[in-house]
Amino acid sequence: MVNVLYAERISLDRKERSTDSIERQHAKLELRREEESRSRAVTVVGHAVDRSVSGSVDMFDRPKLGQWLNEEGRDRWDELWVTTQDRLSRNDIHFLAFVFKVLEWGKTLVVLDDPSLDLRTPEGRLIAHAKALGPSKELARIRARITESHETRRYTRAWPGGVPTYGYVTTKIILDGKPRKVLQLDEYMVSVLHEMRRWMVEGGDTIKGVCTKLNARKELTAKDRWRLSIEQPIKNGVGEVWSPSSVSYLLSSPALLGQKLHKTKPMFNPDGSPLIIADPVFDREEWATLQAAINERRRSPYRKYGASPLLGVTFCGRCEASATHVATFRGEDEAPRYRYYRCTNQRQEKPCPGVSKKAAEVEEIVERVFLQEVGDINVATKSWTPGEDHAEELARVRAAIARLENERDTSLGWDDEDEEGYLSRKARLVARRNELKSKPSRPSGWAYTDTGQKYRDAWEMADEQGKRKLLVDAGVRFVINAPDDFDVQIPDDIAARLQAVSLVA
């Protein structure tokens, strides 16, 4: 009796494509088993089915086949059957290395489309090597075609492939006479992105807070949505988690404005304007306020989601780190026995010795001083006023003009056709430069609007986190130098600024 392992592989498992699918490979292997069973006892001990795995991947690194090649797995089979040599590998070096391992283990490799191939003889191995060069060269040709295709489509609306940015899906259209994939907005994902923006801009959430909300309701990431679209399983059945780094990158990516990226960098047309390949998720004002909120979170060392009473207000006077709210409980008491604001910064090279002060004292002092200074002034809310600055794009256009002129000056064999192309390209660049120079330039910034409500009244109506937000927005800081040495810092211009807003209103 011989124990047989089936090895089946396909680079991209798309049932609608005409290809040597997993199902057809399996059918051929089963047919061979039926034929072999007439002359000897054949037991199929397993099926190593690797879907969406490139032929360039070493057999030992494959998710399914690799499990059968370790010491425990290979004790269970005597022969490994595969329909064709390229289903096993398209890399000649990997293939020959595997052949020698099979011989070393005392196993047999059976390739169905060449049943006479005997790898135990030098001649058989030579033939196998010669046959392996075919798939290897084909792999190189495939890679070259893909690279050439990407280069051709790089400056068009066509999507080059891979996972679309969250908010977009691909659809096929006829582009330049050929069917191409392009991006279009996905209504549901766009609604989630706008919700993420509202959490940050209007709700004051941090990036970590946004992640917490997305993970709590099990929102799928762009990669998981893409996996489901090609009928691939998602991680652990529930998908990947949203991380602060991925959310920060997503919400800062120009791809959400419909701009094409190459290696994470924005692409531009020959005239220096952004290369737009899809409708934007956000309009200009929405984008500006979102970027302002993200930049503010990056500058702030504190979080606002699930925060302690004065997080973002209390700081250590020795190392300037945020002071942590620490509470100790006794037994099963719901109320804490002791509460302090304490520096717990141990991340620097020389850890901070730490300072602390009783929380009740800190909160009483902050409230008293804050209301004493600005309690009778109207609350002013911040709103973002988007600016208009074209300096960066203007610099790119001027650099493109300089490169074009240098190309003309240094090129050999410049002819009339080159001159015609040069004049056309330069005319577009000069027109774009002049257009940018004529546009106004004004900085972005926060504008303050009078709410008509006194800070004292707002304080009395607010809950704990609402009071903290009033303090944080006003820029109030309570700096602890020692238990009996502290400083309440209210920006010098806050009273004048807020009073000015009130008078204007």
Distances (CA, A) of 144 to 131, 147, 148, 162, 386: 21, 5, 6, 17, 45
State the pLDDT at residue 505.
39
The model's pTM: 0.46
Place of tokens 């002359």: 39
SS (H, E, C) 365-429: HHHHHHHHHHCCCEEEEEEEECCECCHHHHHHHHHHHHHHHHHHHHCCCCCHHHHHHHHHHHHHH
DSSP state of 323: P
For the chain, domain boundaries: 2-146, 168-299, 314-385+445-504, 391-438
Query: Which H helix or E strand runs over 36?
Result: helix 22-36
Q: Higher pLDDT residue, 274 or 495?
A: 274
CATH architecture of 168-299: Alpha-Beta Complex (3.90)
The pLDDT confidence band at residue 149, using thresholds 50, 70 and 90, is low
State the pLDDT at residue 306.
39
Summarize the confidence of residues 234-252 as an average pLDDT.
88
Summarize the confidence of residues 317-335 as an average pLDDT.
73
Calculate the dihedral angle through the C-alpha atoms of 215, 297, 485, 483, rounding to the nearest 10 degrees.
Answer: 10
Does domain 2-146 sit in CATH 1.20.140.10?
no
Summarize the confidence of residues 470-488 as an average pLDDT.
87
Q: What is the pLDDT of residues 379-413, one digit of tens each?
A: 877 666 666 777 778 888 888 888 888 878 877 77
Write the DSSP assignment of 432-445 as a string of letters.
HHHHHHHS--B--E
Q: What is the pLDDT of residues 454-468, one digit of tens each?
A: 889 999 999 888 888
Summarize the confidence of residues 265-272 as an average pLDDT.
77
Round to whole Å and give the CA distance between 250 and 254. 9
Tokens of 214: 């997305």
Tokens of 307: 């925060």
Q: What is the pLDDT of residues 69-88, one digit of tens each?
A: 998 899 999 999 999 888 88
Tokens of 149: 């295709």
Calculate what percentage of the chain has a pLDDT beyond 70: 79
Q: Is the pLDDT at 152 greater than 60, yes or no? A: no
Q: Is the pLDDT at 63 greater than 80, yes or no? A: yes
Round to whole Å and give the CA distance between 50 and 21. 11
What is the CA 390 to chain-centroid distance, rounded? 27
DSSP state of 321: P
Computed over every residue of the chain, the mean pLDDT equals 81
DSSP state of 322: B
Q: Is the pLDDT at 173 greater than 50, yes or no? A: yes
State the pLDDT at residue 6.
95
Helix (H, G, I), strand (E, B) or coil at 144: helix
Summarize the confidence of residues 249-258 as an average pLDDT.
94
Q: What do you get for the CA distance between the two ends of the chain, in Å?
A: 94
State the pLDDT at residue 333.
54
Distances (CA, A) of 243 to 8, 171, 207, 208, 307: 35, 28, 9, 7, 19
Distances (CA, A) of 431 to 40, 266, 328, 361, 388: 81, 22, 68, 65, 19
What is the CA 324 to chain-centroid distance, rounded? 31
State the pLDDT at residue 502.
41
Round to whole Å and give the CA distance between 469 and 382. 12
Q: CB-based contacts of 366: which residues, under 8 Å, 6+ apart?
A: 310, 313, 471, 476, 478, 488
Long-range residue pairs from 127-135, CB within 8 A, at least 24 positions apart, any chain: 128/85, 128/95, 128/96, 128/99, 129/92, 129/96, 131/85, 132/85, 132/89, 132/92, 132/95, 132/96, 133/92, 134/86, 135/55, 135/85, 135/86, 135/89, 135/90, 135/91, 135/92
Summarize the confidence of residues 424-437 as an average pLDDT.
87
Summarize the confidence of residues 202-213 as an average pLDDT.
86
